[in-house]
Structure 1
């Protein structure tokens, strides 16, 4: 299958004029999703033409250009071979350049954000990555247009690290964007971590970065930003991760016991609670665990079986399942 993937940077609603660093835009979750999806599609035998409005400002351009199955360009070429168009955050005009007979699927990153009337009429499917997004999108989309396709991570990009021995000071990594209220929950979690018993890393940027630095900078290792390409290396050195969304997925793919904290605190992610947590993208929403119990949860995590964590990621968090679902949906609409 030949796929054209449309992505914008400067006009991207997720960027919204924010997250510029060194002349490039970065939105960790969205870019991590794109990197994992395109890599998985390549191994599945698809070829992908990634059309991005400003390749020099896109943090993954050089990485994706190193993939044999991916072409990165800013040139919209409607005459190029295209079986399916995947529409990320883009202005309508990018899609309007293509013939209407080519199926288009809209990728829903923001659960409640409405698409334009043009996209609603043009896109055959809206790929909702959580049950929450599916419920919200169905309120205004035509019947059967919104479908649930859980996102996942590239299990080859995040190889399992299963043979680690516990150091004298176990290493705990907290990482997420420090904005939208998440920094408040993260602050409560850090307050309740024994920072002498554990070596604590915090990786994240946003308005809460300097507040975190002022409060805990002398007791933790604080990192402003880690590129998507480097995250597997950082995760491989950790004993426990506290994160949300794709950060939690990537840690579990690596085999690392993971605590869910973001908009709320939900504690250790297990086979028993992952289903309910995925409804809100592992952000902690719906969780009501007290952050003061984090040390109890960390000690339980340190005793967890890494093989079991990896197996849970393989069963519930694989990008291969996303690609298979997209292929099946394409077969439906293509007849």
Structure 2
């Protein structure tokens, strides 16, 4: 297929004018999703045209250079061959430039956010990545438009690292945006980690960054921002990861034992609880595990088999499965 992917930077509702790094906007989860999906589409033989409204603000342009089947550009070409349009966070005007006979699927990043009337009328499918998003989107979309297609990570970009770090102290990475109240839970978790027994890294930006620095700066390694391209290297150095959403998915793909912490603390992600946790995007949204148990969970995680973690990611968290779902939906509507 020839796929056109529409993406906005500064006008993006997810960015909301926040998280600018030297003029480049970034929301880690969204850009990680785009990077992994486009790599997966390219590897599957699709031709991808990524249209970005402000290329100078896009943090991943250089990452796609050298991929013959991927073009990254500001120039929209309505006359060019396009079989399917994937609509990310963009102003309606970007999609309006294309002929209405070209099928368009809307990617739902924010579970409860309503799309414009135009997008509702124009997009034949709304790709919901969690059961929670599916339930919320169905409330205001025509019947059959909202569909469940679980997101995943590019398992080739995150190769399994089966050996432990081998350091004097095991390395624990807390990997989370420090806003929306999540920084408060992260603070509780750090308070309950024995920072002499394990070496603690915290990677995240947002309004809670300097508070985290003031409270724990002399006892942890605090990192403000790590680009998507560098995350596999960082994860490969860790022994346990505490994260949510795509951060948790990426850690598990790397084979790192992962604890779920976001809206609430859920503890280790296992084959027994991953289905229920994925309903709310691995954020621990309806969990009630006490953060004071985190050190016991870390010790248990250190004894787990990384091959089992990677196998679980291969089974449940593959971007290839997402792309196959999109291809199946395209076949359904085009006959």
1:123 and 2:116 matched: no
Q: 1: CA distance between counterparts of 2:67 and 2:152?
A: 19
Q: 1: CA distance between counterparts of 2:142 and 2:88?
A: 19
Match of 1:297 in 2: 297
Match of 1:89 in 2: 89
Q: 2: CA distance between counterparts of 1:270 and 1:281?
A: 14
1:26 and 2:23 matched: no
Q: 2: CA distance between counterparts of 1:279 and 1:66?
A: 36
Deviation at 1:333, TM superposition (A): 0.7
Deviation at 1:69, TM superposition (A): 1.5
Q: 2: CA distance between counterparts of 1:5 and 1:129?
A: 17
What is the correspondence of 1:1-335 to structure 2 with a 5 Å cutoff? Answer: 1-164=1-164, 166-335=166-335
Q: 1: CA distance between counterparts of 2:165 and 2:198?
A: 15
Q: 1: CA distance between counterparts of 2:63 and 2:220?
A: 31
Structure 2 portions without partners, runs of 5+: none
Say how many residue pairs are matched: 335
Q: 2: CA distance between counterparts of 1:132 and 1:47?
A: 31
Please report the TM-score for the alignment, with normalisation by the length of structure 2: 0.99
Deviation at 1:67, TM superposition (A): 1.7
Deviation at 1:168, TM superposition (A): 2.8
Q: 1:153 to 1:5 in 2, by over 3 A?
A: same
Structure 1 portions without partners, runs of 5+: none
Query: Deviation per CA, 1:220-272, whole angstroms, max 9, x where unpaired?
Result: 00000000000000000000000000000000000000000011000000000
Cα RMSD (Å): 0.7
Q: 2: CA distance between counterparts of 1:101 and 1:65?
A: 31
Q: 1: CA distance between counterparts of 2:202 and 2:167?
A: 19
Contact kept in structure 1, 2:165 and 2:238, CA below 8 Å: no
Q: 2: CA distance between counterparts of 1:61 and 1:226?
A: 16
